[in-house]
Amino acid sequence: MFIKSLGEFELIHRLKDLLPPSGPDVVVGIDDDAAAFTPGNDLSLLSVDAFVEGVHFDLRLISFRQLGWRLLAANLSDIAAMGGIPRLAVVAMALRGDLQVREVEALYRGMADLAERFDVAVVGGDTTKSPDRLFFSLAIFGDVARERLALRSGACAGDAVLVTGDLGRSRAGLRVLKSGKAQWLKRFDAAVSKYRTPVPRVEEARFLVERFPVHSMIDISDGLASEVHHLCQASTVGACITAEDIPIGLQTRQVAKLNQEEALQYALSGGEDFELLFTLPYDRSLEVAGALTDEFDLPCTVVGRIVAPDKGVKLRQGDKEVPLQATGFDHFKA
């Protein structure tokens, strides 16, 4: 059935039933002009992201259910990067009338899958029409104790620069999907699922800010190079990143090779890995990497050091140091 046959209000009614019940902290959810809830910790967090068909996603490469997951994952990653606990999400959708009801339901199911995993309530939003291009926007509310808040701006010269997981895998997954080669999809399944259903590092970020003196943190949504620049700019510091130390997985290397591309470039400028980039005093860096691996079975790697601002932002490759180009995606210049 088309959503235009069902109508806006009946559609909203159906979607509501797909969401996990919200906890006692939510006084009113999807049924009123706004959601009402108890705020929790002493600091509140708020973020919004937009997702445009043909720019952020292509429905030939991702299912509606995976897309729903991915939209929420990007938002959760923003809250994680602040050291926060995601609590509630609201979603705005501009939909074509000829979408199937089951397609929109699948999108909500994908959101519900991830929402349930992180105990996030999806509490409403706005459902409207687009004549052609699909648009989604998610806003997320979270909270954090003031002493746990992790900003981009706290990095100090001497800090170690660390990243969770491995980088460039999402880009590799996208390359596999765009190739259209069925055997690649199977062979590079880990890359493909990193692209389609990334798991935001919410628990890992909480663990970090609770146990370690994290000076600064940001999530990697635009590629390592761009995020290092954001962090250095906000903190008024420089950085030196060591190319050989950037963690790149086997599948990422293989996909890059098959495409005659540099795996390093996937890591530096491929976006949407949703890993964490953070800094803390160098003498704690081995300890934190070990703790994160022990607790979450997730690699955590020192990739460089924060230096004085006049040293700039550099990439060390072998014996050479070159300026690290902020090659992340610029939406308008791209």
x-marked contacts with a copy of itself along 16-45 as a string, rule CB under 8 A: -----------xx--xxxxxxxxxx-xxxx
By CB under 8 A, the residues from 262 to 321 that bind a copy of itself are: none
Cα 79 → chain centroid: 9
Of 49-57, 63-71, 188-196, 288-296: span binding a copy of itself (CB under 8 A): 49-57
Least separation in angstroms between CB 181 and a copy of itself: 27
x-marked contacts with a copy of itself along 140-169 as a string, rule CB under 8 A: xxxxx-x--x-xxx----------------
Alpha helices in 126-181 (DSSP H): 169-179
Residue 119: strand, helix, or coil: coil
- The only residue of 19, 22, 56, 209 in contact with a copy of itself, by rule CB under 8 A: 56
Q: In what order do the strands lie in the sheet with 313-317?
A: 216-220, 275-281, 159-164, 300-307, 238-242, 313-317, 320-323
Q: Does 198 bind a copy of itself (CB under 8 A)?
A: no
Q: Which residue has the tokens 């991915």?
A: 70
Q: Does 322 bind a copy of itself (CB under 8 A)?
A: no
Decide: 292 and 210 in contact? Cβ < 8 Å: no
The amino acid that residue 296 corresponds to is F
Q: Which residue, 3 or 162, is less far from a copy of itself as judged by CB?
A: 3
- The only residue of 19, 71, 91, 208 in contact with a copy of itself, by rule CB under 8 A: 91
Least separation in angstroms between CB 75 and a copy of itself: 9
> For residue 76, which of 286, 274, 285, 326 has the smallest C-alpha distance?
274
Decide: 229 and 235 in contact? Cβ < 8 Å: no
Least separation in angstroms between CB 226 and a copy of itself: 9
Give, in degrees to the nearest 5, the angle at Cα 272 between 290 and 227. Answer: 70
Decide: 288 and 162 in contact? Cβ < 8 Å: yes
Q: What is the DSSP letter of 247?
A: -
x-marked contacts with a copy of itself along 209-248 as a string, rule CB under 8 A: ---------xx--------------x--------------
x-marked contacts with a copy of itself along 100-129 as a string, rule CB under 8 A: -----------------------xxxxxxx
